[in-house]
Amino acid sequence: MTFDYAQLVPLVPEIAVLALASILLLVDLWLKDDDKGKNHLIAVFGLVVVIGLTGLVGSEHREIVLNGSYIRDPMSDVLKIAILVISLLSFVYSRDYLRDRGMLVGEFYVLTLCAVLGMMVMVSANSFLTLYLGLELLALSLYALVAFDRDSPSGAEAAMKYFVLGALGSGLLLYGISMLYGASGSLELGPVARAVAWQGADNQVLVFGLVFVVIGIGFKFGAVPFHMWVPDTYQGAPNPVVLFLGSAPKIAAFALAFRLLVDGLGQLHGDWQGMLVILAVISLAVGNIVAIAQTNIKRMLAYSTISHVGFIFLGLLAGTVEGFAAAMFYAIVYALMAAGGFGLLVMMSRQGHEVERLDDLKGLNERDSWQAAMMALVMFSMAGVPPTVGFMAKLLVLDAVISIGFWWLALIAVFFSVIGAFYYLRVVKIIYFDQPEIAGPLVVGTGARFALSFNGLAILFLGIFPASLLAYCQAAFA
């Protein structure tokens, strides 16, 4: 047998990320402590190159390579570019923070790039084996990143909780996958889909496997009641890690859910739709209500994440092309909003002081009016206030839900969104109307300032011209 090297062309972005991580690992060995900043430049430049390569190998055609275990399609192209852009923003936001704390070392970038590689593998997985490989590469990298600050007891505690509960979620997902394999006799999603279409819900092993798969997806998304790890992990991890953890992996989680539930178990839509309805409603309720009581902004944004997961589930459960496109649009938009929100916390944190309390944002407008405006845009977008992109994302999901006759579910989502608007607008009030606790202007690096400006203006631009992104999301499922 001969190997066709043309099959590696769709994998060029993944190979480039792996090569970039390997280069950083080797270069870091030779760099002196004063030259560690070069790691940042190599990582940023490398990600820009990978984004270009992803666009270069992308096309409208669907390609399945490596004996059916890997797929490159329009959906994977868009999601990979979104993951890479968010990861690039997280690197730019984090540079000054890491430098001030002596954490600007190659290990941070290598672990983050390994997590990026895991997400890209998940996005293009066409078999259970590939999907789980990407998921575990992402998870193991994130466990180490959460505990990256070795001098932080809270970071070690958060990493332990994340590891134990993450391992539990992975185990349940793997158990469900093993049952699906036993019932279908294949690891590839195509044959699994055909076996499901032939046997349907009559095969109890398939149904039980589906239940465990949905539970595993719920863990990875952080949906209620599998959300226990989210607030503690967000609070204990270093701010740059929370920035990365709270944004890009949500895009990969969408890909995980789509590949398993739609590509593999689409014929059981009626079964997993009901489960997603329950997860979506309780995530919207718990996320929005509990967030109101938080005084730690990282915990508040953690519960906010849980509520946004409910909206992504609403798009998926619709089971239509419009619903899938809306859920994909929402996942990308949420990652962009989360990057901006956590990015400002990273920028405001200075040596010896972590920005974690809501009171730390008091009077931000007096210290830096432009950064305050960008943060206000992020909060308005998360609340779903027009003309920001968050409003359009919610509108598209609600339209998809109403189109299948679940108008009552749309009303529940709107009700909890109105409740959730309170804690977002509270942040805006603190920024503009409270007196600052820290005197003096906000000192921010040029790169981070540019990144936040790009972040905030992108939220506004995509809200006014949503078709610029929505067209790619819709084309992915055409």
pLDDT at 251: 94
Average pLDDT of the residues in 354-375: 87
| Structural domain total, the chain | 1
pLDDT tens digits for range 51-78: 999 999 988 888 888 888 899 999 999 9
The band of 445, judged by pLDDT with boundaries at 50, 70 and 90, is confident
pLDDT tens digits for range 256-306: 999 999 988 888 888 889 999 999 999 999 999 999 998 889 999 999 999
Query: Which is more confident, 416 or 60?
Result: 416
Residue 204 has pLDDT above 60, yes or no: yes
Structure tokens at 383: 């609340």
Mean pLDDT over the full length of the chain = 90
Residue 1 has pLDDT above 60, yes or no: no
pTM (two decimals): 0.94
pLDDT at 201: 65
Any residues with CB less than 8 A from the CB of 419 and at least 6 apart, and which? 288, 289, 292
> In which domain, by residue range, is 352 found?
5-475
Structure tokens at 42: 């190599």
Closest CA to 379 of 332, 416, 344, 331: 344
pLDDT tens digits for range 76-111: 999 999 999 999 999 999 988 888 888 888 899 999
Residue 40 has pLDDT above 80, yes or no: yes
